[in-house]
Amino acid sequence: MTALLSIRDLTVTYRRDGSEALKHVSLDVAAGERLAVIGESGSGKSTLALAIAGLLPASTRIEGCIDWFLPSRSGVTERKAQRSSAKTTHIPLGGRDIGFVFQDPSASLDPVMTVGKQIAEVAYTHLGLGWSAAYAKAKTLLERVRLPDPNAALRAYPHQLSGGQKQRVAIAAAIAAGPKLLIADEATSALDTIVQAEIVALIRQLVAEDGMTLLFVSHDIALAAELAKRIAVFRHGDLVEIGTTAQVINTPHNAYTRALLDAHLGLDAEPLLQQAGTSP
């Protein structure tokens, strides 16, 4: 397993209340894997995602380190460790090396900019394309995320799209520069069940096609089991369990993981155990 990034002893404190949102977390993310991060509200999932993306507020106290192993963009195969102390600027660039999809696409999309421009801007900025090529790329991406009429969508404003369509646009923008890592932070939580399933299927397909690594943040253990090959379970800022999806679902070591599973089984017993470890 080749690591894409390696997190060691990461502790994050939001200064406002002084309590630790993440406590001495260490984990590796393998290149090309689909890793789910689960836990109840307030367990530190988003904090981990934001720390990896270098998006935590400047006032946050961050201890520990995140080592990146990024292949050169020039196509040189040699890989080198890039240490980006969590206290300093990240070497990976958000938007280029890391695509981030948030829960609420309305908050991440600019309401007064056309969808086409928002996606084209990522390609223009990070891929060095001219505007015409960047718009052509945006159209291709809108086709890839299966917007019904990509030409019309290019000219549309976010408010003219449904919630699911907006999330597709946000995904298109997130992958426009060909990031190595796609982080989806509760990216389907605001959507109804059918649209949620469509977006999960879309993420799975795009990640496979582009060979991206996926960090899928969710409070929903069933969704996590459906999409991920490994699951990391967080509680109160601690990483309490990490393992393959089949292991975490079928033979959880931690009492909290068992409680999460029991809560799910109490609601809907069917899909979860069938899915564990069976998806490609």
List contacts with ligand ATP (CB under 6 A): 14, 16, 21, 39, 41-47, 57, 219
Cβ proximity to ligand ATP, 141 vs 170, nearer residue: 170
CB of 78 to ligand ATP, least distance (A): 35
Cβ proximity to ligand ATP, 1 vs 16, nearer residue: 16
Instruction: Decide if 176 contacts 122 (C-beta within 8 A).
Output: yes
CB neighbourhood size of 8 (10 A): 14
Q: CB under 8 Å to 263, separation ≥6 — which residues?
A: none
For residue 180, what are its two tokens?
Answer: 């190595």
CB of 53 to ligand ATP, least distance (A): 13
Pick from 113, 123, 33, 24: nearest CA to 64: 24
CB of 170 to ligand ATP, least distance (A): 17
Cβ proximity to ligand ATP, 46 vs 165, nearer residue: 46
Residue type, 157: Y
CB of 3 to ligand ATP, least distance (A): 23
CB of 59 to ligand ATP, least distance (A): 8
Q: Check the CA dihedral 55-182-93-65 and report its sign.
A: positive
Cβ proximity to ligand ATP, 45 vs 137, nearer residue: 45
Cβ proximity to ligand ATP, 61 vs 219, nearer residue: 219
Cβ proximity to ligand ATP, 19 vs 151, nearer residue: 19
Work out the angle at residue 77's Cα, subtended by the Cα atoms of residues 74 and 81, and round it to the nearest 5 degrees: 95
CB of 173 to ligand ATP, least distance (A): 22
The DSSP 8-state label assigned to residue 94 in this structure reads B
Say what the alpha-carbon torsion angle 2, 54, 233, 186 is, to the nearest 10 degrees. Answer: -110
Interhelix angle for 131-144 vs 163-175, to 10°? Answer: 130
CB neighbourhood size of 59 (10 A): 9
